[in-house]
Structure 1
Amino acid sequence: MYRTIRVAAYEPDPLHGPWREEMRVLRLGEELHTELTRMHTEAFRGSVRPDRLPVRRLNSLLQAMAPGVIATGRNAGTDGFLPWLYAREAVPPEVLAPVIGAWAAGMYREEDDTEDADLEDRLRSDDPSEAVQLSHWESESVDLAETVTSAGGTAEPAARLYSLLPEWVAFRLAARTFRTGGTTLHFRVESSGNGARLVSWPPQRYERRGQTWYYSACLNITVHTVPFAARFRVHVSTQVRRWATRLALRPHEFGGTTVLLDAPLPWPGGPDRGHRLMVNTLGYDWRLKELAWRHHSPAPLVPGLDIVRNYPQPAALFTHPERWINGSGNVAAGIVYHPSIGPHEVGPGLMPRERSDLDAWVEEGLRPMLTRVPDLTRVTRNNTPSLLPRSSAGGGPGVRDAQLALQRRAALARVLNGRPMEIDVFWQSPETRAALLAELPKLIGFPPGERVGPADDDTWRWRGEGIEIRVRARPAGALADALPVSRERRRPRAVRLAEAIEGRCRLVADRMVPRPDGAGVVIAEIAGKERFAAVPDSDPKHALRIAWARQGRLSQFVNLPDDTDSGLEHRAKWTWLDAFRQLGAISPPAHRVGAGIPGDLQYAALWLVRHTRKGPTRCPVRRLVAVRVRPGDGPGDIEGWDAERAEWVPYPQLLLLLSQAVEPVAEAGEVANAEGPGDGATARGGPRPAARAGVEQHRQRETERQIRALLFQLRDRPTLLLADAGNLRQCWPGLRNGELHRDMLGFGTEPAQRHTLYGDDLRVVLVRDANAREEVAGWYAHDAKDRVGFAEGVWGTAETESRVFASTASTPHTAAKLPKGLMKLAPTAQGRTAPGKTAWNPGQLEITVLSCLSEKALADSGREGDQPDRPAEWATLTHQLRYHDDYPPLARPLPLHLARLTGEYVLPVAGTKEEGSMSPAP
């Protein structure tokens, strides 16, 4: 058993002393900023942000084409006096001016403004007196460890370090080579919105099935804070970057993906040559009806700077991706693979040995400025709750399955409370129908069902131990067809989709048989979303969920099997388990923490559901969801908060209530569409900055008011409040790391108050995963014998007052068992097929015990004689809540898992001002 885990995180080494780097800094300058702002305002008169220049494409172009540029400053487009470029040495005007001129020309040429062309000429002019004056480069000593410590004790880096430091780290590492197993890897820098990446280039090759597949090592570099930590951290995570060379789809099905362009600089001299890959986005443009560069891609501007070389056009790159990844005339381009493109013979992920080797290489390259954070050690031996045995060994064949079935029957009997369970199965393939009917009795330990009703009515029944289940199976027919969404682009997309949803709701109403006496669930077999990718919004899944919810039915979906589907039995099993979860037939595990946890403890979880206009129904919405779990409290032990009625309701009722929302559609320029611009006439519309800020502040105040009201509803017994900091801090800013205080809660602009004011026996635990921003570092277990691998448990530092812990789970039983030392970047003769393996690495869940009954909290509450809490016990309890039934360990504690999945039912549909609302039938 491993006793230690190592995280791939680094912090400024206090033994190194001051860490200052001499850099060259350039500001946009008042003259150029004023000129570009004027042009932008005139060319885009309907823009929502005339005060903010669209410099993202220019920044990408400069990073790739201007030698020596390290990073771009934030908000340079709002103020010409803010730092704009950071470089190792000054970029000559004869290099900088053409790049700015190419950007200006590309941005404004389509407006056919002669003054825009005049600016391009003046920027490119050889006569400085005729050019718009560029600012002069300034020398600046930049403190790369600049830190401010918050009032709560959290070290926060200076704002510019979030983008500057990852780029500096990436360039430092890219200057070195990585050698492993006789293979040498060279890295290039890829800038990203959240930091920087290192990508091994040229890609590795893997021969399989008579074809060549391409992949690279990829290191993500980001800067983060940790609650109450004395120093901020640099996270370096490792993964495999796969490249697409066979696109199994048509151009109009190509939604878009990243393309990295390897282009030589068109001018001689300068540092960092050949270290950059230029980031672009390629996708189908429905307006132009062709493939195009999208999302401010700089690729269209490069040919204007280098007329000698041949650069890939979107259609040519899509048609011949392998030709371009191998290079053509010193220019290469790689399409980043996505599963929607088709199959790939290289598997994702790296195993622990290879990750530890890369991690050691990073550690060596960052000395002496950055040092690795200390390893984490176990804080408890009770890593899992009182679960059933993981195998039948020692208990006889089938003992484990029988015990699990007994648990499920008890949970079903509790939530059904004497009512029958009515299930409608709408199938498309006989194999799926048969698998569903076969798996249900296995899961609950019942014999095969009996057929009831007429011979032509495919209805089955199971009875026993206070449970009655009736399943009626019917062909799905037109219910599973694609939605016929109008292509009339003059009307808002959300309204057109709402009309199609209404049509599907009518079709469902005609097919359903009223069953008012039972708990209703529908299981429907539909095609995967990739089958509907060719026509936007045509996937019927969300429309069906809305339609069945209006009939008082919960819904669960199973995808059509493919020709090689060998996991149908497995998928049928999980379909039923997810249906049980929606019914609330699920209970938290019996913990093994100790007497420090109150016996009558209840769990509460908060989750903010957020959909933008790109969401499932094209309607923006934000909704706070609260779920309460009271172990052993009878039929209603899993409940949700109904804000409208101000009461707790059973979990399945909460799901149905959430599905009933109707959203008005804003007119052009209205603030109602505050999530972003709309379709058609509102493409450049939306709220003004002040209005948007006002809407955001109102949302925050309202959400915080709801949270305070909920805390009042939970005061009747000891409560553990669980929240995902990454999800909730947008509407509850007091959860940002820099705002946290031990044993205190902060709301709005008021000073933080002791948490016991919101409940004498309240504890608050925050969790956080890596998410898309790599906020939690990667990890691997290791020991003194240089062995590496996986380990599950709760981990912490040696500090007795620590509030931050790590939770790691085992790999799921569905993951293939692979050697921990499997090498994919340098496959050995014995492991030539290693690149084809999928390496599963369990993520680390960060657990912060924000508020508990510590000695100080008890003293502040006048309860000095009470036994204080041990934060490690509450972290252990949170970790054990990730285990339930025979699910793989959950990504989050069970109450938070239930709260997050309510988002499947938050599906607002657009209404119109004339029609009012499209309310569901009562």
Structure 2
Amino acid sequence: MAYQEIHTAAFVPADGLDTLSTELNTLTFPEHWRQAVLDFYAQTRSEKGRSEVLEHQSVPIKRLNHLLRAVAPGLVSIGRWAPTNTDQPWLYSEKEFSPQALMNYVSAWLKDMAPKEKGTQQTVAASFRPMLNTLRTMDPATLTWDRTPVELLRGTVSEGGTLLPDSSLYRLLPEYAASRVVASGPYRFAGEEVHWHRAAGYQEAELISDVLSYTPKSRDHTGNPWYYSGYLRFYLRTEPFSTVPRLHVETGIRRWTSGKANLQGTTGASAYLRADATLLPQAPTPDRLAVAYLQWDPRTKRPEWRTGGPMNMLENLAITDEFPDPESLVKDGTQWLTVGQGPQFALTYHTTMGRHSVGSGIMPEERRRLMEWVAAALEPEFVPIPALVRAEPPKGTVVIDRALEKTKKVTGDEVKKMALAEENRRIESRNARRRRAHLAEVLKGADLSAVVLYQNSGIRDQMIQAAEDSLDLAGHRDGQGPDTWVWRAPDLTVRITARLAGEITGPLGEATAPKRGGEFKEEAAKRRDLVKETVQGILSDSGGGVQVAYVELDGIKTSTGKRIFAPTQDPKGAIRAGAAQARIVSQFAKPYDPQDAPEEREEKARHRIESAWSDGLRQLGATFVPRAGEGGAIPANLTQIAFWMVRRNVAGKSSFSQFTPIALLSRGKGQIMGCSPDTQGWVSYRDLLCDLTGQVESPRNEQDQTAAVASFVRTTLQPYKFTDTLVLLHAQNSRNRWPWLGNAGLLQDRIKLGHGPDQRLAVLGKRMRVIRVASSDRAEVPQWWAPVEGKDAGFTEGLWRAGDDTSGRVFYSTGRKPSSAQTPKGVAKLTSRTVETGKFAEDGTPKTRDLHVPSAEARTPQLVQFTLTGLLPDDDPAAWACFLHEQRDGDDYREHLKLPVLLHLASKANEYAIPYEDTPEDEVLEDDAVVDLSDDEESQQMALF
């Protein structure tokens, strides 16, 4: 069905509403506390760290804010710079909160700051006196709550015409909206009611529904139910070149662990607590769900609370019996769940815990009904944003020259189906020959040599079959087995050498997980060297250069049946690093899933292996990027350049970070090229990936990284000053080190590099266009559905523009629904739903269909935003947006991509940001000190969306 509009889960103030006020209790971090806390924190750091603390005037308030989510969920903390920022309150609350109770949290926070004895959680003795002295200066009596009016629509407008809300509103306006929805009463449908409960938010306001249950009807099921809830998350966002704030509402399913929770191999799980009494002495009873974090501690071999930092501030507080022991929760998370009530204590499910019989996500028709309920609760102050309408440039404006043909949908009677299937086989054969010719061009006459390291011979055979099918090699086989296969086609020779993987794919440390730091470093180095030696040995034996390695990588079987690796045992990084040292790229293949039914295993494995083979060829730069054809509005000789910031953050296994800006280049044919500040001009995509692996020297601080990006962009674009060039940028990936990319910085047809002045785009290129792409990460682009009168809402592919867009520069793109997504669009999970099928039984009664299917996987294609920041005077914005929409439909990809092809390939470079070495255990930074370039400036960058 050709839907002509789509609706989004987003709301704007009603016409004429210029002011919206509420009253809240506010608390400012006391002035005389600031210097005392800063001095104490500086004393706990090394000499270098001390100078940085004093220079930046910063303390780890984020730890305390996380603690408050667990023990004081009614307190809303604004910004992580509150202890050094006097411009705004630190805490907001609908009710006053005991100063003495708050002081208990601050005491635990200070104790957590203090350095610990090596290998323990015991505070260094020398820190006790400074800590006590600091506490003596922090009199709880100085904590005074003020009743403060808050203007919820307060903001200014950027030079580019984009709204800049007051930073506090990114928390306060969503909280206001969530409270309105809860106060409106339960969600009702099909004669059922679902109640909702407020939960402690972080950068959003969250509602969690009553606990629901689902018992599968399969014969082999034990009869035990699986538990879940719905969630609603509220976010304040903005749109480029618009002065209107937006409330985005995200809907989804929160699955709870049912029975024993397996935390090994996970990064942790959130625990939601509904307290019937105060959690701590002198504190009020929480009026919303508290949120704490539970993780597996490999040192103690038991689950531990992790709140704000690794020192478990919860253990430094007098926790009542309302907070259960972590081990009892993990042994049976079901005991605190009661269907039809809010979670008393619920642990979130993680995919590494094994299977969950409840599927993820919500289908469009149920999302539509939920948003109608939300809209009724928010009116009259907020109304749904106008529908997005199709944006189609004049016919013939955009001409796409595709390298591969599209297969046809097989429908109709049996004769027609057979004919279409035969035609598809001929199309696939032609495509395979074109793919082979393209690969030969990319390799510039060299052979394609691949190594397959397998564990199951069936996977090896499927990889060989995938190679033959992908490149139309069946009639050109020139050698076969036992471990080498050779094909000699007129334009390309392909050689595959297959070997049993052996210990290469086993867990690091074998049966015992290595400790973080020195042990991990040693085990990773051993595996890396083994991979390098193995690949070089195969290279020597085969007589040809191995260019890509395919590795069948399995995990360790857990009690749940899931096969995963513990964090320090996962060999993937070491394998990829070893292959890169041998100057070859690598692709991992998932083996047979033991949880699949026997009749499904081969078919599912076939699809995975075909995808793995294709991904390996793409890493060689053999990717088709849709080209502009002759005679359209888009230049046929267009050069495309995509920028990406490759990051390796400091993590638990490694404290060696990386920040490397890269660029990919496509001229529509030939191989994909890449460059970075360390390459000498453009190199092959394969060489760029290999160069990113290892201890790449990178600028360490924000200022140097921002300057490096500006210099790199200027240098990369300089040769294309007089060439038709399209520059592609990704908002969420790059804006923290290229501030201009945030909504607040955008100016039409102008550009700003680093912290320099804005300038006309023509200064960089006379024929240059710039398009910024934003995805739905952090709900920055809303969820959506396609409505149709009298029928269930559904999905549709297309290019869209907002009905209230006045700039003409902002477009939205939806891809087609994945072929694997077969869930009916009307499926419901939060309530029952029965529909008539249109057929009748023998007695004349209508037949019905049960659409209450909690087990269904509900996948919604992403809505992606294109902001055409830079165009030439005569350009048609719709034509350029349409061309970029076509870039999401890559010729050699089965499904629509989340990002245009070139940006998609650039994002994959992050998989190669793997260090060769790790650091000794005593040098690994604490979790709160993790350099997270996507989050560390969130409070400063809130105005971006």
Q: What band does the TM-score fall into relative to the shorter chain?
A: 0.7 to 0.9
Does residue 311 of structure 1 match 2:304?
no
Does residue 543 of structure 1 match 2:574?
yes
| Structural mapping, 1:581-620, within 5 Å | 581-591=618-628, 595-614=632-651, 619-620=656-657
Does the CA contact (< 8 Å) of 1:28 and 1:134 recur in 2? Answer: no
Query: How big is each residue's C-alpha offset from its partner over 1:498-532, in whole Å with a ceiling of 9 and x where there is no partner?
Result: 46533543354345436675562222212148888
Give the one of 152, 156, 166 matched to 1:148: 156
Q: Which residue of 2 aligns with 1:333?
A: 345
Give the one of 828, 837, 850 matched to 2:856: 837
**Matched residue SS, 2:256:** strand
Give the one of 911, 915, 918 matched to 1:908: 915
Does the CA contact (< 8 Å) of 1:416 and 1:519 recur in 2? Answer: no
Q: Which residue of 2 aligns with 1:293?
A: 305
Paired with 1:4 and 1:28, the residues of 2 have a C-alpha distance of 48
Q: Which residue of 2 aligns with 1:862?
A: none
Paired with 1:76 and 1:276, the residues of 2 have a C-alpha distance of 23
Q: Which residue of 2 aligns with 1:920?
A: none
Give the one of 69, 76, 80 matched to 2:82: 76
**Matched residue SS, 1:513:** helix
Q: Which residue of 1 aligns with 2:588?
A: 557
Query: How big is each residue's C-alpha offset from its partner over 1:629-668, in whole Å with a ceiling of 9 and x where there is no partner?
Result: 1124xxx442112544532223333333333x4357xxxx
Paired with 2:707 and 2:134, the residues of 1 have a C-alpha distance of 46
CA gap 1:389/1:450 in 2 versus in 1, 3 angstroms: closer
Q: Which residue of 2 aligns with 1:181?
A: 190
CA gap 1:838/1:377 in 2 versus in 1, 3 angstroms: same
CA gap 1:765/1:500 in 2 versus in 1, 3 angstroms: same
| Structural mapping, 1:157-236, within 5 Å | 157-175=165-183, 176-206=185-215, 209=221, 210-236=223-249
C-alpha deviation, 1:150, in angstroms: 0.3
**Matched residue SS, 2:540:** coil
Paired with 1:441 and 1:722, the residues of 2 have a C-alpha distance of 35
CA gap 1:92/1:644 in 2 versus in 1, 3 angstroms: closer
Does the CA contact (< 8 Å) of 2:210 and 2:343 recur in 1? Answer: no
Give the one of 135, 143, 148 matched to 1:135: 143
| Structural mapping, 1:43-442, within 5 Å | 49=53, 51-56=57-62, 58-59=64-65, 62=68, 69-72=75-78, 74-79=80-85, 82-91=88-97, 93=99, 96=102, 111=123, 113=128, 132-175=140-183, 176-206=185-215, 209=221, 210-247=223-260, 249=262, 253=265, 255-266=267-278, 275-296=287-308, 301=314, 307=320, 309-326=321-338, 332-380=344-392, 388-391=406-409, 396=420, 397=422, 398-442=425-469
**Matched residue SS, 1:741:** coil
Paired with 1:72 and 1:401, the residues of 2 have a C-alpha distance of 56
Does the CA contact (< 8 Å) of 1:166 and 1:221 recur in 2? Answer: yes
Unaligned runs of 5+ in 2: 115-120, 835-848, 921-945
Give the one of 448, 453, 466 matched to 2:491: 466
Q: Which residue of 1 aligns with 2:781?
A: 776
CA gap 1:616/1:579 in 2 versus in 1, 3 angstroms: farther
C-alpha deviation, 1:704, in angstroms: 0.7
Does residue 795 of structure 1 match 2:800?
yes
Q: Which residue of 2 aligns with 1:917?
A: none
Does the CA contact (< 8 Å) of 1:827 and 1:835 recur in 2? Answer: no
Q: Which residue of 1 aligns with 2:553?
A: 526
C-alpha deviation, 1:405, in angstroms: 2.1
Paired with 1:553 and 1:63, the residues of 2 have a C-alpha distance of 46
C-alpha deviation, 1:781, in angstroms: 0.9
Once the two structures are overlaid, the 10-residue window that deviates more, 444-453 or 311-320, is: 444-453
TM-score by length of 1: 0.84
C-alpha deviation, 1:174, in angstroms: 2.1
C-alpha deviation, 1:409, in angstroms: 2.5
Q: Which residue of 2 aligns with 1:571?
A: 608
C-alpha deviation, 1:577, in angstroms: 1.1
CA gap 1:265/1:106 in 2 versus in 1, 3 angstroms: farther
CA gap 1:850/1:11 in 2 versus in 1, 3 angstroms: same
Does the CA contact (< 8 Å) of 1:722 and 1:766 recur in 2? Answer: yes
Q: Which residue of 1 aligns with 2:866?
A: 847
Once the two structures are overlaid, the 10-residue window that deviates more, 390-399 or 297-306, is: 297-306
Paired with 1:280 and 1:466, the residues of 2 have a C-alpha distance of 60
**Matched residue SS, 2:646:** strand
Query: How big is each residue's C-alpha offset from its partner over 1:312-356, in whole Å with a ceiling of 9 and x where there is no partner?
Result: 1011111111113349x9992111111011110000011111001
Query: How big is each residue's C-alpha offset from its partner over 1:352-385, in whole Å with a ceiling of 9 and x where there is no partner?
Result: 1100111111111122222222111001178995
Does the CA contact (< 8 Å) of 2:61 and 2:80 recur in 1? Answer: no
**Matched residue SS, 2:288:** coil
**Matched residue SS, 1:440:** helix
Give the one of 672, 687, 700 matched to 1:638: 672
| Structural mapping, 1:501-516, within 5 Å | 501-513=528-540
Paired with 1:301 and 1:883, the residues of 2 have a C-alpha distance of 49
Paired with 2:754 and 2:313, the residues of 1 have a C-alpha distance of 45
**Matched residue SS, 1:506:** helix
Query: How big is each residue's C-alpha offset from its partner over 1:419-453, in whole Å with a ceiling of 9 and x where there is no partner?
Result: 22112222110110111122222223332663627
| Structural mapping, 1:757-906, within 5 Å | 757-771=763-777, 773-785=778-790, 787-798=792-803, 799=805, 801-815=807-821, 817-828=822-833, 830-831=849-850, 834-854=853-873, 868-884=874-890, 885-906=892-913
Q: Which residue of 1 aligns with 2:931?
A: none
Once the two structures are overlaid, the 10-residue window that deviates more, 100-109 or 650-659, is: 100-109
RMSD over equivalenced CA pairs, Å = 3.6
Paired with 1:911 and 1:27, the residues of 2 have a C-alpha distance of 42
Unaligned runs of 5+ in 1: 124-130, 665-671, 675-694, 855-867, 914-922
CA gap 1:611/1:796 in 2 versus in 1, 3 angstroms: same
Q: Which residue of 2 aligns with 1:662?
A: 695
Q: Which residue of 2 aligns with 1:865?
A: none
Does the CA contact (< 8 Å) of 1:248 and 1:341 recur in 2? Answer: yes
Query: How big is each residue's C-alpha offset from its partner over 1:891-910, in whole Å with a ceiling of 9 and x where there is no partner?
Result: 11111112222223333323
Q: Which residue of 1 aligns with 2:717?
A: 711
Once the two structures are overlaid, the 10-residue window that deviates more, 712-721 or 202-211, is: 202-211
Amino acid at match of 1:446: L
Once the two structures are overlaid, the 10-residue window that deviates more, 312-321 or 795-804, is: 795-804
Amino acid at match of 1:727: N
Amino acid at match of 1:26: L
Once the two structures are overlaid, the 10-residue window that deviates more, 406-415 or 429-438, is: 406-415
**Matched residue SS, 1:353:** helix
Query: How big is each residue's C-alpha offset from its partner over 1:123-173, in whole Å with a ceiling of 9 and x where there is no partner?
Result: 9xxxxxxx6423322232211001110001111110111122222222222
Does the CA contact (< 8 Å) of 1:384 and 1:883 recur in 2? Answer: no
Does residue 21 of structure 1 match 2:26?
no
CA gap 1:272/1:242 in 2 versus in 1, 3 angstroms: farther
CA gap 1:777/1:81 in 2 versus in 1, 3 angstroms: closer
CA gap 1:433/1:615 in 2 versus in 1, 3 angstroms: farther
**Matched residue SS, 2:529:** helix
Does the CA contact (< 8 Å) of 1:261 and 1:279 recur in 2? Answer: yes
Paired with 1:71 and 1:490, the residues of 2 have a C-alpha distance of 34
CA gap 1:318/1:757 in 2 versus in 1, 3 angstroms: same
Does the CA contact (< 8 Å) of 1:460 and 1:472 recur in 2? Answer: yes
Q: Which residue of 1 aligns with 2:942?
A: none
CA gap 1:61/1:174 in 2 versus in 1, 3 angstroms: farther
**Matched residue SS, 1:371:** strand
Paired with 2:788 and 2:851, the residues of 1 have a C-alpha distance of 28
Does the CA contact (< 8 Å) of 1:73 and 1:85 recur in 2? Answer: no
Query: How big is each residue's C-alpha offset from its partner over 1:861-908, in whole Å with a ceiling of 9 and x where there is no partner?
Result: xxxxxxx00111111100101112342011111111122222233333
Amino acid at match of 1:641: C
Paired with 1:61 and 1:619, the residues of 2 have a C-alpha distance of 28
C-alpha deviation, 1:27, in angstroms: 1.7
Does the CA contact (< 8 Å) of 1:54 and 1:77 recur in 2? Answer: no
Q: How many pairs are equivalent?
A: 855
